[in-house]
Amino acid sequence: MQQTEICKFLKVFFSENGCAITETSPYSIQVQLTEELDKALMNRPFYWHYIEKMGGQPNLSTLSLKTDPNEEEGELIHFGSPRLHKIFSYVIEKGRFGQFFEPVPPEGNTVPLKPWLCLNGKIVYHCHQKKEEIFSIGLSLITGEMLKEFHSLVKGGSLKVSIPDFCFTLTPLIKPVSGIERIHKYLFHTIEKENHQWAEEAMCKMDKELALLERFYAGTAEKPPSYEKEKASITGLYAPSIQLEIINGGIFHLHNHPLTGFSLEE
Amino acid sequence: MQPPILTDNKWIEEFTEALNLQKSLSSWKQYNMAFETAQKNMISDFQTLEAPKQLPQLTFHDYQYDAARKALNEMNGRAILADEVGLGKTIEAGLILKEYMIRGLVKKVLILAPASLVTQWCAELNSKFYIPAVEQRKKPQWETVDIMVTSIDTAKRGNHAEIIKNIDYDMVIIDEAHKLKNKKTKNYQFVREVKKKFCLLLTATPVQNKLSELFHLISLLKPGYLGDEEAFNDYFQRGEHYGELQELIKKVMIRNRRDETEMDWPKRIVQTVPVRFSSDYHSVYQQICQLKQKMKEEYLSPQSGFLVLTLQREFCSSREAVFMTLKNAVEKREMPSEQMNQEFLNMMTSLNHLPSHPKADKVLDLINSWEKDEKVVIFTEYRATQLYLQWFLGQHGIRSVPFRGGFKRSKKDWMRQLFQNQAQVLIATEAGGEGINLQFCHRIINYDLPWNPMRIEQRIGRLHRLGQEKDVNIYHLAVENTIEDHILKLLYKKIGLFEGVIGELDHILEKFGSNHIQSHLSSIFSQSESEGEMRIKLDHLSSIVLEEENEEATHATN
């Protein structure tokens, strides 16, 4: 993330969360935190414990942040700063589950909305190294149709969290839980077709080091405690695995098919 | 092969619950922001370093960056970082740790550092790397604190050790790891029994005396990598398969040398300061030398040669140092003959009549010749000398602070602070040489010379390191026509020890294998019958060393 991008992100984040922002310059802001954000970002549990016990009026913190090191006032925020990472985890925590509706303009007739399930996540390739790959898959809970890059299809629409007037939702034929299973199956299938040379290499390293370890202790009749520890360390280090980590997901009630675009807001 | 695939069952459960209860559901903006943020923080490949992106205010030298990349990608996070003193091994370790943390491969970390460096480790990791490292307190919370910095002496204590051994550490970092060279020590056993996926061993002197030290270090990282001990000794100790060994070592050890880093280092200005004994001092020195002959006549144990050697070296340092040794010998009745005992007692009396030590006078001259309050570190081998010097300087209105390896961590920090802010002189004994950074000081006096050449490098490295902005002045004090002079002129000068390219020295020491210099020196000095014999033997030793060095050079040019 570039500094200008971070600056934009911060402004969106704080205003989304109901904080009053004063722009002191293009690259620095002053934010009056809400109670929730104060608790989430300021790391002062004792203060909050005290206030809640005593029933006092909390004195909410003000944050002064800058994204340009040349600015005078404020705490410098960059891609590595702990404050930003706290914000990141807060953002991710707050956006894990959703239920959204396409904003269909009222036309007199009642309109059915079809349910879709979407899972956004990462395939994590894990051994002594790690890499990740993002996936976003949508599944029609009526027809079982599956769409890749689902999120990029829907993210442009201004979806709502409550059902628009004159709309009704169709009951899914596929239950969300089975839907999740289907998506997983699809992912398993794709992963299995991939080339897993990385895992083979890791296993190879593991076997080599385990063999060395055996040889190292070959002469000792009774193996010392360090032997088991070292063995466990080596296995723990190299053993390859793949994790399907879900970032977020939700049920989407859509009138139009995602590939054809959505109704715009009135 | 198909690695096992694990699913995120926790998310699935929580999602189902959120839908059923219609709670914890996000707004559309929140949902979008969460996914975008996660994408921004994605690790897209195995190898590219992510950490530098998150540390924009740190500039890494190329060699540091390369070291981290190598440790991560080629050595699988198990490496010996063996840069010369002062090149920033801590920075390299920090970078590697940060990278693993960003990648989520490391959460639980144990850092073992010399007590005097614990605070500094914490401060650097927190301020430079935003790694929330915590210093161990009176009641250490090994289980709950994720990144704990402590000294090995604390960690290995019974009650702590048991807890630590049951924790699965993702990474263990050990600073000044050469202290683990002896596999029989408790420290070594302890480290071996800590479960650690990734492991970094930091040392500027992976080999101090013997190749087997390196064997033990590597066996902590990769047991069996160099075979078992016996096989290793058989195969490598004789030095025949040196090239092969070097290749193996290169795969687990990263070593940057000053002269290879292409950086403009502050210079080392080395100066030998001759000291002359006055006639009264000289005659006592002679008295000590004659002891050797006398002891021989009485057929005393072979160690007596060594005792005389010690006395000679001590006398070149301070009266107090000799006095302590004599007193000990007399009190413990180590001298079998009454005549020898009397000899010692006489000597103690003559010591009492001597004026201040000419070396101390020389130190005073040196200090007075500099600008007012110019700071200096004085290294001595003897505690008695340390005390004497402190008293002596105090008599002349110069404030000094002592520094010893045995000090508690807090005391070390305090002494360093005092030296930086209030005292002009820091007097350190050998053990105190490690684990303090004194970049704010630009002068060193080697009050007496250690016999292990690597130690000199360690001493100098306290000051001549990353962060030192001025040239460093180094003064070697040696008393003319004494054993010190011999060491200095006949050995150290010949092998170019002081010329600054000490990096080569460890090559030589590595090659020397078990026949290490120290024991050579001891035997030469204690067993030579005459001055002439000693000269020849020293000459011989230096030419062997030089030969090794030349061979090294021709290898390099080939």
Q: Where are the alpha helices (DSSP H) in chain A?
A: 3-16, 35-41, 45-54, 82-94, 150-154, 176-193, 197-216, 225-238
Predicted pLDDT of residue B425: 92
Task: Answer for the pair A115, A101: CB distance below 8 angstroms, yes or no.
Answer: no
Predicted pLDDT of residue B21: 93
Q: Collapsing DSSP states into helix, strand and coil, what is residue A37?
A: helix
Predicted pLDDT of residue B470: 79
Predicted pLDDT of residue A132: 95
CB-CB neighbors (< 8 A) of A192 in chain B: 2
A223 touches chain B (CB under 8 A): no
Q: Provide mean pLDDT across the span A101-112.
A: 87
Interface test with A, best of B7, B29, B219 (most A CBs within 10 A): B7
- What share of chain A in percent tops pLDDT 70? 98
Q: Provide mean pLDDT across the span A138-152.
A: 96
Q: Do A237 and B1 touch (CB under 8 A)?
A: no
- The closest CB to that of B28, out of A12, A78, A100, belongs to A100
Residue-wise pLDDT tens for chain B (558 aa)? 889 999 999 999 999 999 999 988 999 999 999 999 999 999 989 988 999 989 988 889 889 999 999 999 999 999 999 988 778 899 999 999 999 999 999 999 999 998 888 988 999 999 999 999 999 887 878 988 999 999 998 999 888 999 999 999 999 999 989 888 888 889 999 999 999 999 999 998 777 667 778 888 998 988 888 888 877 877 776 666 777 777 788 889 998 887 776 666 677 777 888 899 988 898 888 888 887 777 766 665 666 677 788 888 899 999 899 888 888 888 876 666 777 778 888 888 888 888 889 999 999 999 999 888 889 999 998 999 999 999 999 999 999 999 887 777 778 788 888 888 889 999 988 655 555 677 788 898 989 877 776 677 777 777 776 667 778 888 888 888 888 887 777 666 655 554 443 344 555 444 444 346 667 777 776 666 666 777 777 777 777 766 665 555 555 444
Interface test with B, best of A116, A139, A233, A235 (most B CBs within 10 A): A233
Within the 87-106 window of chain B, which residues sit less than 8 Å (CB to CB) from chain A? 103-105
Question: Phi/psi class of residue B204: alpha, beta or left (left: φ > 0; alpha: ψ in -120 to 50)?
Answer: alpha
Q: Is the dihedral of CA B477, B483, B485, B487 positive or negative?
A: negative
The tokens for B410 are: 């807090």
- The closest CB to that of B6, out of A127, A130, A241, belongs to A241
Task: Answer for the pair A79, A6: CB distance below 8 angstroms, yes or no.
Answer: yes
Predicted pLDDT of residue B537: 76
Q: Do A98 and B25 touch (CB under 8 A)?
A: yes
Within the 90-109 window of chain A, which residues sit less than 8 Å (CB to CB) from chain B? 91-100
User: For the whole prediction, is pTM greater than 0.80?
Assistant: no
A204 touches chain B (CB under 8 A): no
* Closest chain A C-alpha to B221 CA, distance in angstroms: 9
Chain A's closest residue to B37, CA to CA, is A88
Mean pLDDT of chain A: 91
* Closest chain A C-alpha to B18 CA, distance in angstroms: 7
* Closest chain A C-alpha to B102 CA, distance in angstroms: 10
What does DSSP say about strands A167-169 and A241-254: parallel, antiparallel, or unpaired?
Answer: unpaired
Predicted pLDDT of residue B442: 86
d(CA A241, CA B108): 20
Q: Do B228 and A92 touch (CB under 8 A)?
A: no
B160 touches chain A (CB under 8 A): no
Q: Do B25 and A99 touch (CB under 8 A)?
A: yes
Q: Where are the alpha helices (DSSP H) in B158-253?
A: 158-165, 186-193, 211-221, 229-236, 242-250
Task: Answer for the pair A123, A135: CB distance below 8 angstroms, yes or no.
Answer: yes
d(CA B199, CA B171): 5
* Amino acid found at B230: E
A219 touches chain B (CB under 8 A): yes
